[in-house]
Amino acid sequence: MKDLNFFEKCYVVAKRVPFGRVTSYGAIAKYLGTARAARMVGWAMNASHGDIDIPAHRVVNRKGVLTGKHHFKGTNLMQQLLESEGIEVKELQIQNFKEVFWDPSLELNGLEDV
DNA sequence: ATTCTGACGTGGG
DNA sequence: CCCCACGCCAGAA
């Protein structure tokens, strides 16, 4: 974890997001220590295209809006993936966001040795 | 080294 | 609640 670059760190955390739950770019950035680098997390996800192990669709902005949908193949692939996990999405807005939100800084631990 | 660029976040109006 | 402006930081060119 310590000798991983920013991108890889983002991937490590992203992979830990539980099925049917979502987190935000800012939350990941915060967990990584660079709370102000939320934008970079998004960019990292962008670079993760191809890595099917990385559930980039479970990462949204702080409001629970699928701002990154544009970067997925189809026009609504991101939403489909989320819905297939039981997450309700309406007009790019995740419903019951607070319920499905998963904060790595609160529920994640022991990644130092990853 | 310098400049540009965001899948963001926050604060103020 | 919505919109705007500004801040931020790691990579790419």
3-state helix/strand/coil string of A6-74: HHHHHHHHHHHCCCCCEEEHHHHHHHCCCCCCHHHHHHHHHHCCCCCCCCHHHEECCCCECHHHHHCCC
- Nucleic strand B interface residues, CB < 7 Å: A 24-27, 29, 38-43, 45-46, 48-49, 56-57, 59, 61-63, 67-68, 70-72, 78
pTM of the model: 0.93
pLDDT digits (tens, 9 = 90+) for A26-58: 999 999 989 999 999 999 999 998 787 999 999
Contacts with A58 (C-beta within 8 Å, 6 or more apart), sequence order: A14, A17, A21, A22, A23, A82, A85
CA distance A74 to A71: 9
pLDDT digits (tens, 9 = 90+) for A46-98: 999 878 799 999 999 999 999 999 999 888 999 999 999 999 999 999 999 99
Question: Nucleotides of chain B within 7 Å of a protein C-beta?
Answer: 6-10
